[in-house]
């Protein structure tokens, strides 16, 4: 009883900290996208692009606040099939990473941002890489966070691993066995109530978080509770797995990227082990690789300061060093 009271007190405190941005519903082809912006419209825009099945509000308010305090205008949004954005009949209207990249451009257009600093996490990293290839004039800088190079078929790799296979020759490392096991039990029933939903999701977050940094279950409960309450259809985000398998392009195309690029990655990422970050940085001319000790495949509040500082530093640099001779930064 006392534990539940403490948990509710924590979640109420967390919710009281929610930032209120300038909200907008953005029309992109046949879908509507929920988006919001923070900060002075005259400041340089930073577009935050979340990963597969993730809502825009999963960019922590702490990161947003620090970026705004650092002189940036911050924009975040819900992908199609997540949060308050449209859900899609994927069978009748399949879409690709290229379509999701077009969604990101529509968000920038709606907020009057001709150019922006792009920050993409996981699948969001592929989306922002795609834009850096196809719409270079609109990309001031690129930050690929906890992601992998264009052209990587994550769905096929995961399926191969689940079937007991090994990486194919030249293929990047597969997700860890512990994560694969968690993924098979992380889907709640479509009609699950809040507690059933949390019970299914929290073990997955524990594995994604990694074993090094302290895991605060209450933080993830509060985040998932907010996700649950905002979602039109919690299962619709699974379409991102299908979209991510096609239409992203190829790693070879990253050689054409001209935007100053930062590759941020956790040393304990169970979804995309560090070799994915190394491959991304190697494929993009002049990219700078920063490995964050202990970070997994999540954005815990304990890292808000560090992640925001890296993004602010990168987006304030006029240039990054050319070539790939620079050793990865690990801290």
CA distances from 239 to 79, 89, 96, 243 (A): 11, 9, 10, 6
Is 103 labeled as catalytic in the residue annotation?
A: no
Inter-helix orientation angle 194-209/217-230, to 10°: 130
Per the residue annotation, which of 117, 269, 276, 304 is the catalytic one? 269
Per the residue annotation, which of 117, 276, 297, 314 is the catalytic one? 297
Per the residue annotation, which of 122, 144, 147, 248 is the catalytic one? 122
Pairing relationship of beta strands 329-330 and 139-145 according to DSSP bridges: unpaired
Instruction: Quote the tokens at residue 11.
Output: 């979640």
Torsion of CA 111, 105, 274, 317, to 10 degrees: -60
The pairs formed by 257-260 with CB atoms below 8 angstroms and a separation of 24 or more are 257/129, 257/132, 257/133, 257/136, 257/142, 257/284, 257/285, 258/132, 258/136, 258/285, 259/118, 259/132, 259/136, 259/139, 259/140, 259/141, 259/142, 260/141, 260/142, 260/286, 260/314, 260/317, 260/319, 260/320
The pairs formed by 229-234 with CB atoms below 8 angstroms and a separation of 24 or more are 230/55, 230/57, 230/78, 230/83, 230/84, 231/55, 231/82, 231/83, 232/83, 232/84, 232/85, 232/86, 232/87, 233/81, 233/87, 234/188, 234/190, 234/197
Is 42 labeled as catalytic in the residue annotation?
A: no
306's CB contacts (< 8 A; 6+ apart) are: 292
Residues in the chain: 331
DSSP H/E element including 288: strand 288-292
Instruction: Quote the tokens at residue 10.
Output: 């924590």
Q: Are 59 and 86 in contact (CB under 8 A)?
A: no
Is 322 labeled as catalytic in the residue annotation?
A: no
Catalytic residues: 122, 269, 297
């Amino acid at each position: 009883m006392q534990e539940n009271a403490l948990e509710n007190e924590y979640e109420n405190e967390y919710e009281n900290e929610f930032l209120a941005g300038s909200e907008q519903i953005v029309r992109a082809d046949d879908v509507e996208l929920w988006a919001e912006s923070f900060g002075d419209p005259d400041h340089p825009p930073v577009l935050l692009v979340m990963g597969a099945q993730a809502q825009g509000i999963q960019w922590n308010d702490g990161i947003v606040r620090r970026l705004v305090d650092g002189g940036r205008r911050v924009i975040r949004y819900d992908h199609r099939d997540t949060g308050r954005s449209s859900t899609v009949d994927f069978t009748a209207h399949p879409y690709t990473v290229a379509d999701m990249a077009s969604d990101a451009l529509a968000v920038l257009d709606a907020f009057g941002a001709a150019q922006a600093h792009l920050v993409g996490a996981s699948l969001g990293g592929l989306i922002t890489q795609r834009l850096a290839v196809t719409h270079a004039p609109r990309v001031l800088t690129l930050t690929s966070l906890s992601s992998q190079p264009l052209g990587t078929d994550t769905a096929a790799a995961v399926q191969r691993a689940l079937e007991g296979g090994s990486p194919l020759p030249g293929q990047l490392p597969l997700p860890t066995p512990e994560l694969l096991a968690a993924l098979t039990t992380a889907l709640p029933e479509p009609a699950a109530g809040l507690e059933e939903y949390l019970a299914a999701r929290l073990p997955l977050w524990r594995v994604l978080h990694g074993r090094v940094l302290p895991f605060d279950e209450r933080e993830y409960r509060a985040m998932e509770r907010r996700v649950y309450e905002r979602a039109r259809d919690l299962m619709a985000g699974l379409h991102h797995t299908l979209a991510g398998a096609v239409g992203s392009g190829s790693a070879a195309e990253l050689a054409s990227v001209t935007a100053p690029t930062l590759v941020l990655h956790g040393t304990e990422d169970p979804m995309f082990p560090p070799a994915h970050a190394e491959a991304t940085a190697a494929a993009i001319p002049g990219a700078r690789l920063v490995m964050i000790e202990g970070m997994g495949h999540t954005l815990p509040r304990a890292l808000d300061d560090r992640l925001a500082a890296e993004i602010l530093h990168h987006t304030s640099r006029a240039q990054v060093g050319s070539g790939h001779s620079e050793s990865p930064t690990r801290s």
